[in-house]
Amino acid sequence: MVMSHAVIQKRPHEATVAPNLMDLDRLRSEWSWDAVRAELDLPDGLVNQAHECIDRHAAATPDKVAMIWEGSDGAIERYTFEEMRRQTNRFANVLKRIGIQKADRVFVFADRIPELYFAVFGTLKAGAISAPLFSAFGPEPVAERVRRAEGAMIVTTPHLLPKIDEIRGELPSVRHVMVIGHRAGATVDAANLDYAALMAEASDDFVTEPTGAEDWSIMHFTSGTTGLPKGAAHVHEAVVNHYATGKYALDLHPDDVYWCTADPGWVTGTSYGMFAPWSNGVTQVIYEGGFGAGRWFDIIERHRVTVWYTAPTAIRMLMKAGSGVPRERDLSSLRFTASVGEPLNPEGVVWGEEATGLPFHDNWWQTETGAIMIANYASMDIKPGSMGRPFPGITAGILDDEFNEVTEPMREGQLAIKTPWPSMFRTYWSDEERYRSRFKGEWYITGDRAKRDEDGYFWFVGRDDDVINTSGHLVGPFEVESALIEHPAVAEAGVIGKPDPIAMEIVKAFVSLKDGFEPSDQLRRELIGHTRQRLGPGVAPREIDFIPSLPKTRSGKIMRRLLKARELGLPEGDTSTLED
């Protein structure tokens, strides 16, 4: 990581609103999670994320707008906290009526429409576990995830329903498929539940399930080097971290209009596209559509967005579109901008200042940590290229290969977080052994490598495993390899992340063919088409090379590191375990 950029110093007189966090060291020395809990409602010691995010604000500020929704077609809808309370109560009543029990897994497979948000919070009110899935997934990743979590129900929309119909027969745990048809003007087949009809009959009143701090709330699937994605499960207590990081890392103030560009199929889209802003009682913009430089800056201008949370790939695409686009818009409402998900190039931080007048504040966390762990704060100087400093209440460390802490500045090692903290994941669903393997003594091992400088700023070095980060989305090579070898022509497949100037990495596959099949451009296109159909466009390989055989260890494991080294023309390293 380059450190040549000048530190971006904070000029306090420029701020229109005083940051919530004025002095990181002081707040750290005084930190108490109980003091944070005291700022939440937590009636009778119970905690439910839906209560903290919706009902408590519906009681205090019922007419305040919680969600400004903008559809892909430009339609705009506004929902107050009171309206959100009623809609989520209705959904919770519907779940009870159809027999959804506490801790049942309720999947949502939908684009970013208001009903997705009603469904997630209604599920939490009913005490069930919400599991949102990325709508661009193909049928295979959906089936893997529902199967692993033994999902009881899938909520979806008419245009995504064909993917569910394709896999439904493989998913015996699924008791109901519910279809949100009314937006598409579609009627719902009698084989499925009709969202609109059930919601119309449901009551506005619901008594939220009395969940405690350790009751399950949400599950997100994350990829590892081996095996299929794991369901990282979180508990209601996580809202304590969501609230605190919303307030101090994203600097949310009551009058903010906040926009997080992430999709709820990924953890950023729930922790920071639902829980952090709404536990802080803040109005947020939700945009259904995808990326577009002009469109995105229009949204900031139109809705007078004050705090904007996005990702490095998007920032690099905005940079590509040029500074002219933001200069043509009135972005004077913006007060704080932040980024997460992959390394943010120093150039991206600096470009933010040039284009919007504000540098992007990088921060670091993971599905497993549930909330921001390391951040650049509103009041703190930014070192472009650094992820910032640990959140108060969080201890981050650099460990050597024997898991001992390294205190010397700028020594590279494994990035670890000292346990526990409220939003820490509590298991990988049905894989307790793998969950336990992530901890060494008092440390949670993140799987990333990093360094800490003499001022306590952390610098990302890279992943410590073969997981691919493409546009901020983690892709497990095994999942892609499995889909490739389903094709009749493929004997073996090895998948790596290939560096890319925009997406950071793209998924690249190496394939050896079965006897009787010959490499050709047509077969390459067919394999890409096959994986796009099975996995979805974000997960399928963008490039495929045919090779006669894959490098393997003597025990038969594909050596992805060697494939990568060869691809990049790097030294091959230790090949002593390579089979003859």
> Which positions lie near ligand PRX, rule CB under 6 A?
222, 266-268, 340-343, 362-367, 387, 446-448, 460, 463, 469, 474
Q: Which amino acid is at 17?
A: V
Cβ of residue 491: shortest distance to ligand PRX, in angstroms?
Answer: 31
Q: Cα–Cα distances in Å, from 174 out to 164, 241, 509, 536?
A: 11, 32, 33, 22
The torsion angles phi and psi of 63, rounded to 5 degrees, stand at -90, 0
- The radius of gyration of the chain's CA atoms, rounded to the nearest angstrom, is 23
In angstroms, give the least distance from the CB of 344 to ligand PRX.
Answer: 6
Backbone angles phi, psi at 546, to 5 degrees: -90, 130
CB of 419 to ligand PRX, least distance (A): 17
Coil, strand or helix: which one is 30? helix
| Assigned token pair, 198 | 């059930």
- Which residue reads 């091992």 in tokens? 445
**Residue entry with tokens 């008791």:** 175
Q: How far is the CB of 235 from ligand PRX (least distance, A)?
A: 17
d(CA 29, CA 33): 12
**Least CB distance to ligand PRX at residue 504 (A):** 9
In the bound complex, what is the minimum distance in angstroms from residue 299's beta carbon to ligand PRX?
22
Question: 54 vs 372, which CB is nearer to ligand PRX?
Answer: 372
Report the residue number, 54 or 495, with the smaller CB distance to ligand PRX: 495
Query: Is the CB of 217 or the CB of 366 nearer to ligand PRX?
Result: 366
What number of other Cβ atoms are within 10 A of residue 227's Cβ?
14
Please give the Cα distance from 513 to 522 (Å, whole number). Answer: 14
Phi, psi (degrees; rounded to nearest 5) at 316: -65, -35
At closest approach, how far in Å is the CB of 444 from ligand PRX? 12
Question: CA-CA distance, 282 to 484, in Å (whole number)?
Answer: 44
Side-chain-side CA neighbours of residue 522 (13 Å): 2
Contact 69, 87 (CB under 8 A): no
Cβ 24 to ligand PRX shortest distance, Å: 17
DSSP-derived 3-state class of residue 294:
helix
DSSP state letters, 477-522: HHHHHHHHHTSTTEEEEEEEEEEETTTEEEEEEEEEEPTT----HH
DSSP state of 92: H
Of residues 128 and 267, the one with the C-beta less far from ligand PRX: 267
Q: Report the residue number, 227 or 519, with the smaller CB distance to ligand PRX.
A: 227
Fill in the DSSP letter of residue 192: S
In angstroms, the Cα distances linking 360 to 300, 355, 388, 512 are: 15, 11, 12, 43
Please say which residue, 326 or 476, places its beta carbon nearer to ligand PRX: 476
According to DSSP, the β-strands at 283-287 and 65-70 are parallel
Q: How far is the CB of 342 from ligand PRX (least distance, A)?
A: 5
Comparison of 261 and 363: residue with beta carbon closer to ligand PRX: 363
Distance, CA of 198 to CA of 207 (rounded, Å): 18
Q: Least distance to ligand PRX from the beta carbon of 385, Å? A: 10
For residue 460, give the H/E element and its range.
strand 458-463
Name the packing angle between helices 293-303 and 312-321 (round to 10°). Answer: 100
Q: Which residue is nearest to ligand PRX (CB)?
A: 367
Residue type, 396: A
User: What is the smallest separation between the CB atom of 417 and ligand PRX, expressed in angstroms?
Assistant: 11
Choose between 125 and 230: whose C-beta lies nearer to ligand PRX.
230
Give SS3 for 480.
helix
* 420 upstream amide cis, omega within 30 of 0: yes
362/479 with CB nearer ligand PRX: 362
For residues 128 and 315, which CB has a smaller minimum distance to ligand PRX in the complex? 315
* Residue number, 150 or 464, with CB nearest to ligand PRX: 464
Nearest to 304 by CA among 329, 280, 325, 324: 329
Q: Which is closer to ligand PRX, CB of 308 or CB of 460?
A: 460
Closest distance to ligand PRX from the beta carbon of 240 (Å)? 18
Tokens representing residue 524 in the block: 């390459």
CA atoms within 13 A on the CB side of 278: 33
Closer CB to ligand PRX, 180 or 340, in the complex: 340
Q: Taking the complex as a whole, how short is the minimal distance between the CB of residue 42 and ligand PRX, in angstroms? A: 26
